[in-house]
Every structure is written in structure tokens, then in C-alpha cells.
Structure 1
Amino acid sequence: PHTGTVWKVGAKHNVTWNTSNPPKQITDTIGQIYLRHGDSTHATALASGFSILDGHKEITVPSVKAGSNYRIVLMGDSGNWSDEFKIEA
């Protein structure tokens, strides 16, 4: 998601990322997607066990507190963060 995006609790979304030029030295292609809120060190797991080389994964927005400073975190060979976006109940 990009800044200004609004997701609803319970909705399905396709999280996407660019795989057009992956590093040749990738050592871990198994991905994980997390939802992070604000500056919290806690993140909610949304998906795991998929190949980061796929470039997409469908997730369901969990039942979380409404707010405007959420981020998607993609983990695999390295961590990548989305822009902040909003979730509504």
C-alpha cells in the first residue's frame, strides 16, 4: 500500500513487490509479511512460507485498532517496509 491507502478490517488485499532484478546472492527466498503499527516493536504476522520471488501474496486484514500509521513489512533476504497507510474498522 501507498500513503493515502485505506484498508478495511476483514478485507483481502494482494500485497505486491518488485522482483524484476533480484540480487543473485539471495540466500533465503522464503518470505514473511507483517503488519506494523506506529513505532511499535510488535508486528502481526499476516503470511509466511511463500517465495519472495513470486512478487505477490494475498492477505486478510486482521481485526486491529483503527489508525492511520500502519505499515506492511516484507521479510525474506532483507526487510522492506511500505509507506504508512490507514485501516478502518
Structure 2
Amino acid sequence: MKFTNAFTTTFALFAAALSTIVTAAPLEPRDVYTPHVTYPHKGTVWMVGQRHNVTWDTSDAPVNITNPVGMIKLGYETFILPITLASGFNVLDGRIEVTVPNVDAGQYFLVFFGDSGDDSDPFLITTS
């Protein structure tokens, strides 16, 4: 019986302390942000080895972004390739320069990661 009372008292004190911590430090609400990639767009042609600015629209960015650190990966057909073109940048920058990787010629797309992924329009990469 003494164990049960000691456990109940300990649990009640723990719950009260946890309640105080939670109410003392409210979490700031965050929004998922999926910026629209504006370049490359349909009709764009990149050549292997060239440098290009990937751009995205930041005009609708929420005040509190869940993850403000961006990453851009290359995609082919319906697959996201293990090729990272840029990472560690602020999603509010609106642009980042990338180098076109040494890949086969074909139709590709970019995936912009931050809070969520947003695909660019399909575009071509050529080798010459």
C-alpha cells in the first residue's frame, strides 16, 4: 500500500512539473512551405557542365516555415536520382546556382526540398 501511495504522489508531482514546463514554453506554430520552381521550366535546355540559376517564387512564403533549409535533387522520368545539385541554402533566397551534372542526355526535372518537395517542369539536358 505504501508503494502505491508513493507512486501516485511521484506521478502527480511529475505530471504537475510537466504541465508547468509545457505551459511555460508554448510551441510556435509552423507552416509547411512548398515554393513553386520557376526555372528551369518547360522548353529549357541545359548542357552538361554549364552553370544555371535554379529559381523559385518566394512571394507566398509563410512567416513561420517548418524547415527553412533547402535541397535540390535531380529527377529522371518518375525517379528522384541520388544527385544533389544544391543543399544547405535558405528556402527564402529565391535562387541558387547549380552545375549541370554529367548525365546522359534526356528529359529531367528538379525536386525542391525544404518542408515539402515541389517538382520543376520537365526540361532537357544535353551533352553537347
Give the TM-score of the pair, scaled to structure 1: 0.92
1:41 offset after TM fit, Å? 4.2
> Where do 4+ consecutive residues of structure 1 move more than 3 Å?
none
Corresponding residue for 1:55?
Answer: 94
Query: Which of the two has higher C-alpha Rg?
Result: 2
Corresponding residue for 2:122?
Answer: 84
CA RMSD of superposed structures (Å)? 1.1
Which is strand-richer, 1 or 2? 1
Matched, 1:72 2:72: no
Question: Does the residue aligned with 1:32 lie in a helix, a strand or coil?
Answer: strand
1:32 offset after TM fit, Å? 0.1
CA contact (8 A) 2:47 2:100 kept: yes
* Distance of aligned partners of 1:82 and 1:47 in 2 relative to their CA distance in 1, 3 Å threshold: same
Corresponding residue for 2:29?
Answer: none
Question: Does the residue aligned with 1:78 lie in a helix, a strand or coil?
Answer: coil
Q: Which runs of 5+ in 1 are unaligned?
A: none
Which is helix-richer, 1 or 2? 2
CA contact (8 A) 1:37 1:43 kept: no
Give the TM-score of the pair, scaled to structure 2: 0.65
